[in-house]
Amino acid sequence: MDKIYNVTYILKCSDGSLYTGWTNDMKKRYAAHVSGKGGKYTKSHPPVGIVYLEVSETKEEAMRREFAIKQMTRQKKEAMIVESAWQEALPEELKDEMKEWFF
């Protein structure tokens, strides 16, 4: 993948919890989370898949979106995840690269 995407994401962890973050290299970041090197939380709550991705124009937008999602209740996050509009909005290149990790 040549284009850099600023992505806000939600992972489903092995205990059912949700982890929200942002990155500009989703494949590398997800691999880090799975290997236990992606962050303190996912080291003890390994992810089982990606349940939400949202592309932003800038890293600042992605960071603001991460913060906004972290302020949401679990119920609001789950409602957002269930909606299919976020999947339809993803660039095809990103969908193809990440499809094996979608939960």
Tokens of 1: 């993948």
- pTM for the model stands at 0.90
Q: How far is the C-alpha of 35 from the C-alpha of 95, rounded, in Å?
A: 22
Mean pLDDT by 10 residues, the chain (103 residues): 85 96 94 91 94 95 98 96 85 82 73
pLDDT at 2: 65
Residue type, 3: K
In a domain, 17, yes or no: yes
How far is C-alpha 54 from the geometric centre of its chain's CA atoms? Answer: 7
Q: How far is the C-alpha of 60 from the C-alpha of 50, rounded, in Å?
A: 21
Q: Are 4 and 74 in contact (CB under 8 A)?
A: no
In a domain, 71, yes or no: yes
When divided into structural domains, the chain yields a total of 1
Q: How far is the C-alpha of 10 from the C-alpha of 44, rounded, in Å?
A: 16
pLDDT at 101: 75
In a domain, 56, yes or no: yes
In a domain, 15, yes or no: yes
In a domain, 18, yes or no: yes
**Domain CATH for 46:** 3.40.1440
Query: Where in the sequence is the domain holding 20, given as residue range(s)?
Result: 6-101
In a domain, 1, yes or no: no
pLDDT at 103: 66
